[in-house]
Structure formats: C-alpha cells, structure tokens
Chain A
C-alpha cells in the first residue's frame, strides 16, 4: 500500500513545491510598480463596469447536474468492465439492463431539451 502511494506523495510535494516556489521567487525578483489603473480588471482599456459575478445562463447548471448523474453511472461501469470476461453472459445482460435504464434517462433529458444550446 505504502509502496504504491509513497512515490505519489513525494511527487505531489515536488510538484507543489515547484509551483509555489516558482511563483514566490518570481514575486520576490519581479518589478513592483502598482497603480490603481493597472490593478483594475481588464476590460479592453475601458473603466470596468460593475462586478463580474453576475448571473449566467441556467444551461451551465443543467450541464453540471447532468454530469454528476452520468459520471456516477460511468464510474459504476468500471468495476464491471474489469470483471467483464469472468462475469460472462450474465454480467453482460445485467449491465445491458443498467444501460437501458440510463438510456431512458438520457432520452428524457434529450427530449426535454436540456442538451440544446441554440
């Protein structure tokens, strides 16, 4: 267990160290001449109007919701795929039923227009 995950932990430490190290070093040696205009959000040279955090299209939320549902179903298929050959026909039919239910949901979502981006 530790054999497999110790290298990953080490690599994470190195990668994090590299990212923050580079950013911090560059902050220390870089120029510093801040001004109000320079620190304003970029809006093609115009004074920024209002905050950026306004409401955006509902479609993005729908996509996020659909993603969670479908991704969990995809994750369910991983253990099945690894065991597939030993499960044989029984496993195939069982997963067929699962995929069929998934497809009914998918067809419903499609019919309701949740996948439309006009």
Chain B
C-alpha cells in the first residue's frame, strides 16, 4: 500500500492528535528559544563589551530567564488613569499572537513515513504560506500603534508613531525583495521552496544545494536589513530608543504585559530568522549534500541556521549605533525600495534570457 498524506478526511482522529502534538512541540521550542534568547543576548553583548553578563542565577546565569519571568509575573500591574483601557489591555496580545502563530508555516523536516501515512514536519502547509507570513507580520504593527496611542503618554505616542511609519516603510521593501525568490520558485508554499533548494546548485554542482542565497544574494542582504527594521532591532530600534524615548511604545506597561512585549520582540527575531533560513538558506536541508550531513535530522539544521542568524542580529546590536530617523526613512524609501525593484527586474530579465 502506498503511503498517503495524513488528512482530516482519511483519519480525523490521528490528524487532530498529530496536529496537537506538532503545535505543542513547536510552541514549546519557540517559547524556550525566546527565553534563552534573552539570556544568550545578554551573554553575547556582555562578552563583546568585556563583561560577563548574568552570572548569579545558576551556572553562568542559565536560570536567568526563569528568574526574570517569575519576577515580572509577581510585579504590580499599572494601568495609567489617562489610558484608554481596552486597547491598552489588548495591545500586548496583539503583538505577541502574530509573532507566535507565524511559525505555523515553517517546515522543520522532510515528510515522516509512519504506518500508511505521510506526516509533513510542519504545522500546516499553506499554498499561500508566504502571504500568510506577510499578513501576520503586518498585523503586528497594530499592536505597537495601539500600545503607543492607548497609553496616552508622550513617549509612548512618539514611539508608536515612529514604529508604524518605520515598519510599513520596511514592510514594503521586504515584500518587494522576496518577490525575486518566488520568480525562481514559482510557489508560495514554504515546503516546496525548501524542496526546490535541495536541488543541485544551478543544475550542475550536485555537492552544493541550490540555496536561493547563491542565486539571490542581493535579495538576501536586503531581506536581512528590512527584517531587522521590521522587528525594531538595533540599529533600527527607534520605536524603543531608550536613550531618547525612555522605552518608547511600552513605557507605560509593567508586570506581565511588559513581559509579553519582551517575548514578542524575541519571538519576532526567531520568526524573521526562520523565514530567512527557509527562503534563502535551504530551511531544514543540510548545507552540503554529504552522507554524514544528511543523517542529521532536519530540525537540527533549521535550529542551527535560526540560532546563527539570531547570533548575527545580536552581534549587530553590539556593533552598530542607532541610525537617525531621517536616515532610516531615506534608506528605506530611496535606497532599499529601488534596489528591490531593480532586483526583480534583473531577475526577470535573466530568467527570460535563459529560457
């Protein structure tokens, strides 16, 4: 009997069970990665500034994320009297939820063959996977704007307004950048995009996989920059700019609601790293088509790529000063946007000529 794809119609019970297991595993991995990303970032930046970073809680501060979490959990919750209550309470969830659910379309391994069923190692394989990611990335902006506006504090409002202008400007460039990838892949399903990247490089070199970073290096660079700007990481952390805006849009938040903003920031970092890894760095596939490398399970490669990209983001934070707001907007609209458009046209030209 040939294996068939597990679906709701051929065995609903198993489908729902497998779905719940996959969701819980991915959710736990993301949450743990988020928790340890905070520790990891403090350690990296500490060592880069010849400090030690957290050392007191557990071995080399390994329990620091839990200590922070418990502390924030038991803190007093402050709702400013001038704030608009409903959006003020909704905003943290509106930032965190899109960040957490975007990982649903990231594939983390080849199809598992169990019994008579093929089980994709992905929460769900949407044929519009990339549009889904862009849509939810766009929703995250509402959370920041609402948080800034509802707090009714000057710093928050400035942070929120800055964030919205920055994020929509760079979302435009990011959306335009990855079009060049779909012109090559001809699909928006991330599972198929990863499969296409396992083919031999340029159809000839069978040892190296056909990652889109080799065919689209400019798009890769642009996507990293726009991604950093979209998740408000240094050097584009204008919305939070602690030296000018106190804490930007989350100035008035405290306790667990502040922690949710914090979680969202790191969850977004994981999501952007995972998307970059999937679109450009071959997702869960091994970097070389070599027996030993192919034996390592897919999720290990995906996590390795994600953590490597996150390390680079933290490295950037330790290296670069914050750019000025006018420089940021000028770069987004006058440099990245034309470059992304030119990349699309050049890709189109090359593909047409090769045909």
Seen from chain A, the residues whose Cβ lies within 8 Å of a Cβ on chain B are: 2-8, 10-12, 14-16, 18-20, 22-23, 25-27, 29-34, 36, 38-44, 48, 51-53, 56, 59-60, 63-64, 66-67, 70-71, 74-75, 77-78, 81-86, 88-89, 92, 95-96, 99, 102-103, 106, 110, 115, 117-118
13 A-B pairs (CB sep. < 8 Å): A2-B8, A7-B19, A16-B97, A20-B93, A31-B76, A42-B252, A63-B165, A63-B169, A64-B164, A78-B188, A89-B355, A92-B348, A102-B341
Q: How far is the CA of A113 from the CA of B341 in the complex (A)?
A: 20
B23 on interface, CB distance cutoff 8 Å:
yes
Q: How far is the CA of A76 from the CA of B33 in the complex (A)?
A: 36
Interface hub of A22, A96, A103, A110 (most chain B Cβ within 10 A): A22
Q: How far is the CA of A102 from the CA of B340 in the complex (A)?
A: 13
Across the A-B interface, the 10 shortest Cβ-Cβ residue pairs: A26-B256, A117-B326, A19-B93, A41-B153, A81-B182, A15-B100, A7-B124, A67-B168, A31-B76, A15-B97
B204 on interface, CB distance cutoff 8 Å:
no
B276 on interface, CB distance cutoff 8 Å:
no
Return chain A residues, CB-CB under 8 Å to B161: 56, 60
Residue of A nearest to B22 (CB): A7
Supply 16 further A-B pairs (C-beta < 8 A) apart from A8-B123, A60-B165.
A3-B15, A7-B22, A15-B27, A30-B73, A32-B77, A40-B80, A40-B82, A41-B152, A51-B82, A64-B168, A74-B176, A78-B188, A81-B182, A84-B182, A89-B352, A99-B341
Q: How far is the CA of A83 from the CA of B188 in the complex (A)?
A: 11
Q: Are B80 and A39 in contact (CB under 8 A)?
A: yes
Return chain B residues, CB-CB under 8 Å to A92: 348-349, 351-352
Please report which residues of chain B, range 244-302, place their CB below 8 angstroms from some CB of chain A when the two chains form the complex. 246, 251-252, 255-257, 259-260
Please report which residues of chain B, range 10-32, place their CB below 8 angstroms from some CB of chain A when the two chains form the complex. 15-16, 19-20, 22-23, 27
Q: Are A81 and B179 in contact (CB under 8 A)?
A: yes
- B interface secondary structure, majority: helix
Q: Are A10 and B182 in contact (CB under 8 A)?
A: no
Please report which residues of chain B, range 140-175, place their CB below 8 angstroms from some CB of chain A when the two chains form the complex. 149, 151-158, 161, 164-165, 168-169, 171-172, 175
Q: Are B182 and A19 in contact (CB under 8 A)?
A: no
- Of the candidates B76, B126, B175, B329, which one forms a contact with A117 in the assembled complex, judged by CB atoms under 8 Å apart? B329
Return chain A residues, CB-CB under 8 Å to B183: 81, 84-85
Q: Are A85 and B186 in contact (CB under 8 A)?
A: yes
Q: Are B172 and A110 in contact (CB under 8 A)?
A: no
Q: How far is the CA of A31 from the CA of B74 in the complex (A)?
A: 7
Return chain B residues, CB-CB under 8 Å to A67: 168-169, 171-172
- A interface secondary structure, majority: helix
Return chain A residues, CB-CB under 8 Å to B19: 6-7, 10
Shortest Cβ gap from B255 to chain A (Å): 5
B38 on interface, CB distance cutoff 8 Å:
no
Shortest Cβ gap from A71 to chain B (Å): 6
Return chain A residues, CB-CB under 8 Å to B168: 63-64, 67, 71
- Of the candidates B74, B83, B100, B176, which one forms a contact with A11 in the assembled complex, judged by CB atoms under 8 Å apart? B100
Q: Are A63 and B329 in contact (CB under 8 A)?
A: yes
Return chain B residues, CB-CB under 8 Å to A38: 78
Return chain B residues, CB-CB under 8 Å to A88: 352, 355
Q: How far is the CA of A46 from the CA of B126 in the complex (A)?
A: 52
B63 on interface, CB distance cutoff 8 Å:
no
B46-70 CB mask vs A (1 if < 8 Å, else 0) is 0000000000000000000000000
Q: How far is the CA of A11 from the CA of B153 in the complex (A)?
A: 33
Shortest Cβ gap from B159 to chain A (Å): 11
Q: Are B333 and A52 in contact (CB under 8 A)?
A: no
Given A41-B151, A117-B325, does the pair A11, B344 have CB atoms closer than 8 Å? Answer: no
B304 on interface, CB distance cutoff 8 Å:
no
Shortest Cβ gap from A13 to chain B (Å): 10
Given A15-B101, A52-B152, does the pair A27, B186 have CB atoms closer than 8 Å? Answer: no
B339 on interface, CB distance cutoff 8 Å:
no
- Of the candidates B76, B179, B337, which one forms a contact with A32 in the assembled complex, judged by CB atoms under 8 Å apart? B76
B319 on interface, CB distance cutoff 8 Å:
no
Q: How far is the CA of A102 from the CA of B93 in the complex (A)?
A: 37
Residue of B nearest to A66 (CB): B333
Q: How far is the CA of A18 from the CA of B92 in the complex (A)?
A: 12
Q: Are B330 and A53 in contact (CB under 8 A)?
A: no
